[in-house]
């Protein structure tokens, strides 16, 4: 399941999880304590190792290796053939750029829009604030899947500005555009909630001092409190990045043009095309490895931040 969308708003803390608090008294220690951990670790790691190893092997060797440990390690007749074949059959580079662009835009615009909203809800007084905040939180229990089809119908009837070399025209329907992948996912109730919680924890006296110095609210947001809210920006970015990079249902519904396909949907089409000698599993494993490795590398680099971001989505603070 994709659990990263819409975590419910129990409360947020950005407490780092890096050094676990040792809750239990010291265990028995020794090899025995590692046994369940190792068994579980193997069950999580082996399928991924199998994917990577298979991506370098020709068809016959993948099948031949299935009965032994060789299935999980890149040994034998290794080559990049599967990767080359993927690039020959589909514009996977283009899919990659599409996903990268769409994800980056959603993350960046989302940080701006959601932090601004969170700032207003946390630090400014205005009528209807509590109702508005409660309304935003209430949207978190609505799964996207429940309104995906009405949304497709809605965006296919929205007007859009189409740019041509000799001017522009107003056309009907957002389907098959970058904007249909980006704009609906910029505002995010959970991010707003996260920012509001964090901005609340920054002393109000800072605003008052800045107001005395003649700063406006924009200056206060930009230069006074946001620089202190780094962890909230990092958490929001991580919690947005992952589900967007992995996004599948929405692009499947609104993108038909091959050149606009993101990587996940491109994968589905790649599988569906097939070849004469049956399903080319080696190539498919090459494709899945290619789109997985970048995320795993990013995850390993920011492992601590990832884990504490996820943790913050569920802890009562």
Partner 1 sequence: MSKTTTTNTTTKRRRGTPATRSEARGAYLFILPALILMVMFLVIPVLMSFTLGFTNARLGAATSPEFVGFTNFLRALRDDPTFWDALRNIMVFVLVVVPLQGGLALVLALLINQKLRGITAFRVLFFMPVVTSMVVVAMLWKFMYQREGLINSLFGFDVDWLNDPSTALPSVIVMSVWQGVGFHMIIWLAGLQTIGQELYEAASIDGANRWQQFREVTLPGLRPTFVFIFITITISAFSLFTQIDVMTSGGPSNATTTLVYHIIQMGSGRGDVGYASALSLIFFMIVLTVTLIQRALTKDED
Coil vs helix vs strand at 101: helix
Q: Nearest distance from residue 22's CB to partner 1, in Å?
A: 5
Burial of 155 (0-12, 13-18, 19+ CB in 10 A): buried
* C-beta closer to partner 1: residue 8 or 162: 8
Name the residue among 216, 267, 276 with its Cα closest to residue 246.
Answer: 267
Query: What does each C-alpha distance from 262 to 8, 165, 242 come to in angstroms?
Result: 27, 25, 14
Rounded to a whole number of angstroms, the minimum distance from the CB of residue 4 to partner 1 is 7
Reduce the DSSP state of residue 168 to 3 states and report it: strand
Q: In sequence order, what are the residues at sequence separation of 6 or more whose Cβ sits closer than 8 angstroms to the Cβ of residue 223?
A: 215
> 167 or 278: whose CB is closer to partner 1?
278
Question: Which C-beta is closer to partner 1: that of 25 or that of 167?
Answer: 25
Residue with Cβ nearer partner 1 (66 or 165)? 66
Q: How far is the CB of 232 from partner 1 (least distance, A)?
A: 15
Q: How far is CA 258 from the centre of its chain?
A: 22
Residue 125 or 166 with smaller CB distance to partner 1: 125
Other CB atoms within 10 A of residue 121 CB: 21
The nearest distance, CB 218 to partner 1, in angstroms, is 3
The alpha-helical segments, DSSP class H, found in the chain are 30-54, 59-65, 81-89, 92-123, 129-138, 148-155, 178-182, 189-200, 205-212, 217-219, 230-245, 249-254, 263-273, 281-301, 303-312
Q: Which is nearer to partner 1, 120 or 232 (CB)?
A: 120
Number of Cβ atoms within 10 Å of the Cβ of 277: 7
Q: Which is nearer to partner 1, 165 or 291 (CB)?
A: 291
Nearer to partner 1, 66 or 80 (CB): 66
117 or 167: CB nearest partner 1? 117
| Beta carbon of residue 275, minimum distance to partner 1 (angstroms, whole number) | 15
Three-state DSSP state, 143: coil
Question: Quick one: angle between helices 92-123 and 281-301, nearest 10?
Answer: 30
Contact between residue 16 and residue 304 where contact means Cβ atoms under 8 Å apart? yes
Minimum CB–partner distance for residue 73 and partner 1 (Å): 14
Q: How far is the CB of 205 from partner 1 (least distance, A)?
A: 9
Could you tell me the smallest distance in angstroms from the CB atom of residue 266 to partner 1?
10
| Smallest separation, CB 230 to partner 1 (Å) | 19
If one counts every other C-beta atom within 10 angstroms of the C-beta of residue 35, the result is: 10
* Closest CA relative to residue 184, chosen from 231, 269, 122, 249: 249
């Amino acid at each position: 399941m994709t659990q990263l969308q819409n975590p419910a708003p129990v409360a947020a803390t950005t407490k780092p999880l890096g050094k676990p608090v040792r809750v239990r008294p010291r265990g028995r220690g020794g090899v025995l304590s590692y046994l369940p951990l190792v068994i579980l670790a193997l069950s999580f790691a082996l399928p991924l190792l199998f994917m990577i190893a298979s991506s370098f092997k020709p068809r016959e060797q993948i099948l031949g290796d299935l009965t032994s440990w060789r299935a999980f390690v890149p040994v034998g007749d290794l080559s990049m053939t599967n990767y080359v074949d993927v690039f020959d059959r589909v514009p996977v580079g283009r899919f990659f750029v599409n996903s990268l662009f769409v994800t980056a835009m959603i993350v960046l615009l989302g940080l701006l829009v959601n932090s601004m909203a969170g700032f207003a809800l946390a630090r400014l007084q205005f009528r209807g604030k509590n109702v508005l905040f409660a309304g935003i939180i209430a949207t978190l229990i609505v799964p996207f899947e429940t309104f995906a089809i009405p949304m497709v119908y809605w965006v296919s009837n929205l007007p859009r500005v189409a740019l041509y070399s000799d001017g522009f025209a107003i056309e009907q329907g957002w389907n098959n555009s970058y904007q249909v992948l980006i704009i609906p996912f910029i505002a995010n109730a959970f991010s707003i909630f996260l920012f509001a919680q964090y901005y609340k924890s920054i002393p109000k006296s800072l605003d008052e001092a800045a107001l005395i110095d003649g700063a406006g609210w924009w200056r206060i947001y930009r230069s006074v409190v946001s620089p202190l809210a780094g962890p909230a920006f990092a958490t929001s970015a991580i919690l947005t990045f992952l589900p967007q990079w992995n996004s599948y249902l929405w692009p499947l519904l609104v993108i038909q043009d091959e050149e606009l396909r993101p990587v996940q949907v491109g994968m589905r089409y790649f599988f569906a095309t097939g070849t004469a000698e049956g399903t080319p599993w080696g190539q498919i494993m090459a494709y899945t490895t290619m789109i997985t490795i970048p995320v795993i590398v990013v995850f390993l680099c920011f492992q601590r931040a990832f884990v504490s971001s996820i943790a913050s989505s569920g802890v009562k603070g």
